[in-house]
Amino acid sequence: LGMAAKKLGIKVMTPVFDGASDDEIIDALKEAGLDEDGKTVLYDGQTGEAFDNRISVGVMHYMKLAHMVDDKIHARSIGPYSLVTQQPLGGKAQFGGQRFGEMEVWALEAYGAAYTLQEIMTYKSDDVRGRNKVFESIVKGQAIPKPGVPESFRVLVKELQALGLDT
């Protein structure tokens, strides 16, 4: 249909599954002087010989994806945290941080990067007291203290207690 429309000098827009019928397409191909099966002979670019089989070719228009780097790029050093879990918010719209997912954790585990994992999953995530102690230690030039209990674990314990499961 696209090739026929191009030859006829018209624009055609049709939905994918509920669009022009076979008869309408064949009529347009005939009107444009093309074969009704919509196939054409293609030639080998090196030898100039015609290929054995005729091939369907056509003109197709589609919408361009608008993925621009300027719209996508995002970085954060400080920003808002969730009130419940105390983890950094996600997404550019909330000025959130990058999510470090389960598979990324597995990759660092496989690599043996224990201290990096510890930092990502405590100080840089939801260990509120630890986060403040690390900042204070860096400012004073002292050794960084051991991490505390992540806030997400405390939330899990509270949810289990709400269900009546207590230790």
pTM: 0.48
Report the alpha-carbon angle 67-81-155, nearest 5. 120
CA dihedral 147, 85, 125, 89 (to 10 degrees): -170
> Which of the residue ranges 41-50, 91-100, 115-124, 128-137 has the most confident prediction, judged by mean pLDDT?
41-50
The identity of residue 126, as a single letter, is D
Report the alpha-carbon angle 157-163-166, nearest 5. 55
Report residue 101's pLDDT band, with 50, 70 and 90 as the boundaries: confident
Mean pLDDT computed over every residue of the chain: 86
pLDDT tens by residue, 64-84: 777 777 777 777 777 888 788
Classify residue 7 by burial, with Cβ atoms within 10 Å: 0-12, 13-18, 19+: middle
For the chain, which residues make up each domain, given as ranges? 2-56, 78-162
Q: For the ranges 16-25, 46-55, 61-70, which has the lowest average pLDDT?
A: 61-70
Q: Are residues 61 and 2 in contact, defined by beta-carbon separation less than 8 angstroms?
A: yes
Pick the CATH number of 78-162 from 3.90.1800.10, 3.40.1350.10, 3.40.980.10, 3.40.50.300: 3.90.1800.10
> Which of the residue ranges 18-22, 33-37, 137-141 has the most confident prediction, judged by mean pLDDT?
137-141
Q: For the ranges 22-31, 71-80, 124-133, which has the lowest average pLDDT?
A: 71-80
